[in-house]
Amino acid sequence: MSTSTATVDRYLETIYCIAGEGEVVRPSRLAYWLAVSPPTVSDALRRLARDGWITISKDRSVALTSAGHDVAAKLVRRHRVLERWLTDVLGFDWAAADEEADRLSSAISDAVIDRIDASMGSPTTCPHGNAIPGRTASYGSLIALSQLSAGTVAHVRRISEVAEHEARALLEVLAAHTIAEGTEVTVVSPTDGHREVTLSITGQQLQLSAEAASLIWVELAR
């Protein structure tokens, strides 16, 4: 098994996150997520398979090997622990924390990450509600915000990894409306012809596209 590089790490982390959303990981999806050309992805995947990080099925779907999963989980843990520290301790909003965690992740040692994690009591999720590898999130059954009917009250629990990597503008909009994990929202009007959903948050209204609302997972209020 060869040593992972920055490029290998980037692919492994991306495969981990896409698979974590329940998607089948395919070269075209990786090319879109990483903003590189399909031939570049194909070449990279052949090298990753050769070096034992991934397997490629006959239908071209991609999966991490045990070794690839271990490296990817470690990378994702670093990022999510840093995000939690940046929001809970330093006061960054979750959009800014996501960007800063990207910058810091490769520059901080495992020992420091472990100390940061322990100092916060070993949180189970990042600020966006995605589970830190090796831990289980404490929320109950979740449903996409786009599926709720008018008048439904719910609490925001998780923002899809897709939003973190492909729709950071959504994180900025949510941060501007002080929406965070646990925020109570009320559906004023459901998706209109699958176009948009209107929310009420502490007296303010926010309109989101149906696509954006599908990236926000909530737990129904009791």
Would the pLDDT of 123 be above 90? yes
| pLDDT score at 209 | 87
Q: What is the mean pLDDT of residues 11-39?
A: 92
Question: What local confidence, expressed as pLDDT, does residue 144 receive?
Answer: 92
Q: Could you tell me whether strands 143-144 and 184-189 are parallel, antiparallel, or unpaired per DSSP bridges?
A: unpaired
Burial category of 116 from C-beta neighbours within 10 Å (exposed 0-12, middle 13-18, buried 19 and up): middle
pLDDT confidence tier of residue 2, bands split at 50, 70 and 90: low
Q: What is the DSSP letter of 147?
A: G
Neighbours of 14 (CB within 10 A): 20
What pLDDT is attached to residue 80?
95
Closest CA to 178 of 122, 117, 95: 95
Cα–Cα distance for residue pair 159/177, rounded to 1 Å = 15
CB atoms within 10 A of CB 23: 13
pLDDT in tens, 141-153: 899 998 998 899 9
- What is the SS3 assignment for 42? helix
May I ask the CATH class of domain 78-138?
Answer: mainly alpha
216: part of which helix (H) or strand (E)?
A: strand 216-220
- At residue 199 the predicted structure's pLDDT band, cuts being 50, 70 and 90, is very high
Residue 178 reports pLDDT greater than 70: yes
Same fold, 78-138 and 143-220: no
**CATH numeric code, 143-220:** 2.30.30.90
Greater model confidence, 211 or 190: 211
Domain covering 6-64: architecture: Orthogonal Bundle (1.10)
Q: Residues of 41-68 as b/e, b for ≥16 C-beta within 10 angstroms?
A: beebbeebeebebbebeeeeebebbeeb
What residues does each domain of the chain span?
A: 6-64, 78-138, 143-220
* Whether the Cβ atoms of residue 40 and residue 26 lie closer than 8 Å to each other: no
Range 46-68 average pLDDT: 96
Residue pointed to by tokens 């040692």: 109
Work out the number of other CB atoms within 10 angstroms of the CB of residue 198. Answer: 17
CA–CA distance, 73 with 110 (Å, rounded to integer): 13
Predicted local confidence at residue 193, as pLDDT: 56
pTM confidence score: 0.85
25 vs 161, which has greater pLDDT? 25
Mean pLDDT in residue range 157-163? 84
What are the tens digits of pLDDT across the range 98-122?
A: 889 989 998 999 999 999 999 999 9
Taking residues 27-33, report their average pLDDT.
92
**Amino acid 1: pLDDT:** 58
Distance of CA 89 to the CA centre of its chain: 20
Q: Are 156 and 218 in contact (CB under 8 A)?
A: yes
| Residue 194 scores a pLDDT above 70 | no
